Amino acid sequence: MGCLHPAGSRKPGAVGSPCGTSASPGGVPNVDASASSRTAEPRECPDQHRCCSTCGRIRASRREESVGISYVEFEDENGVLRRYRKHVNGRGLVATTAKVDPTAFVDPTAYVDPGAEVQRHAVIGPGGWVDRDAIVAERAEIGVRAHVGRGAVVGRNAVVGPYASIGAAARVQNGARVPREAKVAEGDEYRASTEDLRRLGLAA
Could you tell me if residue 102 is inside a domain? yes
CA angle 102/104/110 to nearest 5° reads: 115
Could you tell me if residue 104 is inside a domain? yes
pLDDT for residue 203: 60
Amino acid letter, 108: P
Q: How many domains does the chain have?
A: 1
Structure confidence by residue, pLDDT tens digits, 1-31 = 444 444 443 433 333 433 444 444 444 444 4
Binning pLDDT at 50, 70 and 90, where does residue 204 land? low
Q: Where is 195: in which H helix or E strand?
A: helix 194-199
The SS3 of residue 32 is: coil
Instruction: Report if pTM > 0.75.
Output: no
Could you tell me if residue 114 is inside a domain? yes
Cβ neighbors of 68 (< 8 A, separation 6 or more) are none
The DSSP-derived string for 55-84 is H---B---EEEEETTTEEEEE-TTS-EEEE
Could you tell me if residue 117 is inside a domain? yes
CATH number at residue 128: 2.160.10.10
What's the distance, CA 140 to chain centroid? 14
Cβ neighbors of 186 (< 8 A, separation 6 or more) are 149, 167, 168, 169, 170
Structure confidence by residue, pLDDT tens digits, 71-126 = 888 877 678 888 999 999 999 999 999 999 999 999 999 999 999 999 999 999 99
Could you tell me if residue 51 is inside a domain? no
Could you tell me if residue 92 is inside a domain? no
Could you tell me if residue 190 is inside a domain? yes
Could you tell me if residue 52 is inside a domain? no
Cβ neighbors of 201 (< 8 A, separation 6 or more) are none
Pairing of strands 135-136, 129-130: unpaired
**Average pLDDT in the chain:** 76
Q: Is the dihedral of CA 199, 200, 201, 203 positive or negative?
A: negative
Structure confidence by residue, pLDDT tens digits, 145-203 = 999 999 999 999 999 999 999 999 999 999 999 999 999 999 999 999 988 888 877 76
Range of the domain at 159: 97-199
Structure confidence by residue, pLDDT tens digits, 110-124 = 999 999 999 999 999
